[in-house]
Structures are given as C-alpha cells and as structure tokens.
C-alpha cells in the first residue's frame, strides 16, 4: 500500500454494545437452552462485548443472525463459551499472594490431623489448584513433614468442560508458566513446552464440573480460592456467592479472592481479614 493510499474503511457495521435488547435476550435464552450457560448472572456490558467479539470473528451483524449461525454451525458454541468464560490463568499468578499464603495460612491449615480440603472455585485449566499442591508440598518438605502430604485434598471446579479436560491432562504451554519461579519449574515439570506436571504434584488433586451459581457448593473446606471469577458477575450474585463460600468453609477456613476483587455487602461482616492486600479472609472459628 503506497503512503498516499487511504486506510481501508472501518468495518461498515457497528458492534452491538448497546441496543437490540430483545434480540440479545433471545440469544441469551438460546445459549442457556442449548448449552446450560446462564447468561443472566453476568454483567450485561461484559456479555455484549464478548458476544460481539465472536460476531466480528464470524462476520455477523446482529444477535439474531449470530443465533442462526449457532444453529448451522454448533462448533461455534465452543468458541463462544471460551470467549464468555475467559479462561486465562497461570501457575503462581500473583506470586505475592502465594508467599502470603505460605506464611500466614499453611501453618494453620496443617495444625490439625485430618484432611486439608482446598477448593479452587473457577479453576479454569487447573493452574491454581496445582499451584496450591506444589506450594503445600514444598512447605511440608521444608518443615520435614512430608508424611502429611497424604492429607491434601484439592478440588478444582469450573463450568467450562474444555478447561476441565485440559486440567486433567496437566500439560501446559509456556504462557502458563510465565510467573513460575525457575527452580519450581525445573523441579515439578518435565521439560517443555508443553510442560507436564509431575505425577507427585497431581496426587490428591481432582477436577469436576460445577456451576458456582446454580450448582451445589462443596462442604467443609479449609481453604477456598475464588480468584478472578466474581468480577464477571452482577453484584447481587457476588453477594450470594460470598455467603455460599462462608457456608462451604469449615470454621476457621480461609477464602482467597483475586487482587482486583473484594468482599461486598453483608459478606464483609462474615469474614475477618487476614491480609487485605492479598485478599485473604477467614471465617471466624
């Protein structure tokens, strides 16, 4: 293109960031009926932006047209659900949080004798759940308590089937390892990419599909991670979730949220802060 050639025109249709409410409602109902993904719980702006990403990728102008495309080409659903659920995650995401957990939470967690139950809620492809496993094993080793590793029970849950499949496979691309300290990488993964997690760190870790909002919560947990999940939910759903987490925790159990998230409403009275900066809270004993 010569420097004098005008740039190509901007795409001739604007994306549906507002308007078309009725069509959008229909599309939401369709997605729920076909794939059981309840769009009603998600922030409207977020949802529109994400659906627009897929519409643009497939050259569709209206929600109705895109709905028809989903009927003609159901494989598009996989791309749409990937886009809607935002599965981005990493091992040791926010390293400072893991350091704080090691110092302020692990000693208490392993004080007793029974199982140490950890729930990674919205686990995506498993990096968070496995990071918890690695952290605990390294700590136990340092404390000369490796015999306690058998007490670790970590459950990762997510709504997205493809992420869960990836979690069970435990093979990771370079991007997943970007925040992982070198020695940890060498010790716990086979050389990659893909970096395969060693079987020892997979022991006691399992994954299951569970919708955080409409599914049954786990019970009797000692530590719950719910990081970078609730930001996508409406405020009242967030409040409901925090209460569910409170019930899912054993007394004295810990809740860890994402760095950009915070407790709201009555939930603020339910939990005691352990480390405000790292978003670590505790259900009182």
DSSP 159: S
For the bound state, the minimum distance from the C-beta of residue 74 to ligand SAM, rounded and expressed in Å, comes to 19
Residue 57 and residue 79 in contact, taking contact as beta carbons nearer than 8 Å: yes
Residue closer to ligand SAM by CB (options 57, 88) is: 88
> Stretches 21-29, 48-56, 121-129, 132-140: which one binds ligand SAM (CB under 6 A)?
121-129
Q: Which of 27, 47, 101, 124 binds ligand SAM (CB under 6 A)?
A: 124
For the bound state, the minimum distance from the C-beta of residue 7 to ligand SAM, rounded and expressed in Å, comes to 34
Phi/psi zone of residue 19: left (φ > 0), alpha (ψ -120 to 50 degrees), beta?
Answer: left
DSSP 260: T
For the bound state, the minimum distance from the C-beta of residue 266 to ligand SAM, rounded and expressed in Å, comes to 21
283 lines the binding site for ligand SAM (CB under 6 A):
no
Residue closer to ligand SAM by CB (options 159, 270) is: 159
Task: Write 62-71 long-range contacts (CB < 8 A, 24+).
Answer: 62/16, 62/20, 62/23, 63/16, 63/20, 63/23, 63/24, 63/26, 63/27, 64/23, 64/26, 64/27, 66/27, 67/23, 67/26, 67/27, 67/30, 70/30, 70/31, 70/34
Q: Which of 163, 180, 221, 222 binds ligand SAM (CB under 6 A)?
A: 163
159 lines the binding site for ligand SAM (CB under 6 A):
yes
93 lines the binding site for ligand SAM (CB under 6 A):
yes
Residue 227 and residue 261 in contact, taking contact as beta carbons nearer than 8 Å: yes
Residue closer to ligand SAM by CB (options 93, 140) is: 93
The contacts of residue 133 (CB under 8 Å, 6+ apart) are 152, 154, 201, 202, 203, 204, 205
Instruction: Please name the helix (run of DSSP H) or strand (run of DSSP E) that holds residue 280, with its range, or none.
Output: strand 280-282
Number of chain residues interacting with ligand SAM (CB under 6 A)? 20
CB atoms within 10 A of CB 215: 13
158 lines the binding site for ligand SAM (CB under 6 A):
yes
Q: Which of residues 218-237 bind ligand SAM (CB under 6 A)?
A: 227-229
Q: Which of 31, 63, 80, 85 binds ligand SAM (CB under 6 A)?
A: 85
* Residue 105, both tokens: 């939470």
Packing angle, helices 21-35 and 44-57, rounded to 10: 80
For the bound state, the minimum distance from the C-beta of residue 126 to ligand SAM, rounded and expressed in Å, comes to 9
86 lines the binding site for ligand SAM (CB under 6 A):
yes
Q: Which of residues 29-68 bind ligand SAM (CB under 6 A)?
A: none
178 lines the binding site for ligand SAM (CB under 6 A):
no
Site residues for ligand SAM per CB under 6 A: 85-89, 93, 122, 124, 128, 158-160, 163, 211-213, 227-229, 258
């Amino acid at each position: 293109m010569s420097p004098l050639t005008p740039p190509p025109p901007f795409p001739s249709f604007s994306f549906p960031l507002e308007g078309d409410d009725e069509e959008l409602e229909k599309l939401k109902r369709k997605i729920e009926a076909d794939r059981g993904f309840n769009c009603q719980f998600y922030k409207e702006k977020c949802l529109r932006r994400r659906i627009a990403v897929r519409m643009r990728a497939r050259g569709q102008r209206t929600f109705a047209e895109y709905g028809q495309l989903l009927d003609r080409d159901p494989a598009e659903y996989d791309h749409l659900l990937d886009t809607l659920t935002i599965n981005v995650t990493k091992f040791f995401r926010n390293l400072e949080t893991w350091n704080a957990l090691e110092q302020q939470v692990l000693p208490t967690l392993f004080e007793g004798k029974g199982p140490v139950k950890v729930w990674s809620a919205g686990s995506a492809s498993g990096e968070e759940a496995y990071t918890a496993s690695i952290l605990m094993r390294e700590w136990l080793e340092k404390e000369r308590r490796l015999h306690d590793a058998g007490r670790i029970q970590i459950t990762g849950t997510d709504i997205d089937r493809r992420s869960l499949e990836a979690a069970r496979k435990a093979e990771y691309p370079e991007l997943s390892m970007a925040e992982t300290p070198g020695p940890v990488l060498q010790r716990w993964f086979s050389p990659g990419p893909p970096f395969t997690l060693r079987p020892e760190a997979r022991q006691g870790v399992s994954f299951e599909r569970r919708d955080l909002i409409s599914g049954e919560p786990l019970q009797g947990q000692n530590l719950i991670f719910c990081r970078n999940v609730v930001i996508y939910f409406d405020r009242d759903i967030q409040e409901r979730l925090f209460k569910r987490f409170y019930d899912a925790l054993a007394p004295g159990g810990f809740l860890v949220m994402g760095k950009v998230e915070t407790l709201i409403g009555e939930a603020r009275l339910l939990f005691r802060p352990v480390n405000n900066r790292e978003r670590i809270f505790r259900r009182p004993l």
